[in-house]
Amino acid sequence: MRLAVMAVLAAGMVLPAVAQAADAPAIKAYKRDPLPIYDDAGTKLRDVPVASMPAAGSAGAQVVGAKAGFVGVRLDGKLAWLRLSTVDYVGDLAAIKCDANAMSFAKMEEEGLQQSLGLGCGGGK
């Protein structure tokens, strides 16, 4: 199910509203207050104060639909679309493939693995 959500996200397609699974990915942060809400056509409907939104990371903030540039949440029982640029939502990304090299012995001190991005390949498989 979660993979399906991601596949749809990646494809930029509309995902019909789905039942909320307990472990479904949720919005991690709201980045605008008030938060603009959009309809299915991408037209702005209204602004909603963040205080009136489900808490970030909570079950209420679970994403039930996605299309290019937007994620859908249930708000007052109805599907409400949010611009991705105004929230942090990462779906359920797979772990980074990290069998980067054959020299596992070199990856011995976690302090040394930081890279320019702030962290390098984690050595997990």
Partner 1 sequence: MRHSMILAAVAIALGTAPTIDAAPKKKRAAAPAKVAAAPAEPVVASLPDAPYVPLTGCPVPPAGSLAAVKKVDKKARGKFSIDKAPFISTLDAGDLCVSGNKMRSGAGDTAGSMGLSAQVMNTRSARMDLVDIPAFERELRPVLEAFGKAWPYAPLERTPKLLFRADEAYQAQALPDNTIVVSMGLLEAAQSDSEVLFVLAHEYSHLLLGHFAKAETIAGARGATQAVSVAWSAGSAFTAMKRSGGNVSLATMQSGMDAGARRAAPVAEALRFAVDDIFATSWNRDQENEADALAVDLLIRSNMTIDSYANVFERLQKAFEAQKASYDKRKAAADAAQASMGEAMKGFATSNVAGFAATGGAGMQGFGSGLLKTAGGALVSNLGNITRSMGGDTHLPPEERRKGLAAYFQAGYPTADPPIDTGALIGRIKGKPEFARTVAMRNAYMKARASYFAQDYAGASAQLRALGAGSRTAPTFVNYVAGLAARDQGNVAQAGSFFQAARTGSGVQNLQLYESYTEMEIGAGDMSDSNALIAEGKARFKDPDHFKSIEIKRDIAAGDMAGAQLVYNACMAVKGRDYITERCKAAMPQAAQQPSNPLGFKLPFGG
Name the minimum Å distance from CB 121 to partner 1.
Answer: 4
- Least separation in angstroms between residue 68's CB and partner 1 is 6
**Residue recorded with tokens 């930081």:** 114
| 34 upstream amide cis, omega within 30 of 0 | yes
CB 37 within 8 A of CB 75: yes
- Judged by the rule CB under 8 A, the positions of this chain that interact with partner 1 are 6, 9-10, 12, 28-33, 68-70, 83-85, 88-91, 93, 95-124
HEC string of 70-123 equals EEEEEECCEEEEEEHHHEECCCCCCCCCCCCCCCHHHCCCHHHHCCCCCCCCCC
* Distance of closest approach, residue 77 Cβ to partner 1, in angstroms: 26
- Closer Cβ to partner 1, 58 or 104, answer by number: 104
- Which of 6/75 has CB closer to partner 1? 6
In the bound state with partner 1, the residue whose beta carbon lies nearer, of 77 and 85, is 85
- Nearer of residues 45 and 100 to partner 1, judged by Cβ: 100
Least distance from partner 1 to the Cβ atom of residue 48, Å: 15
Contact 122, 113 (CB under 8 A): yes
- Give CA 58 to chain center in angstroms: 13
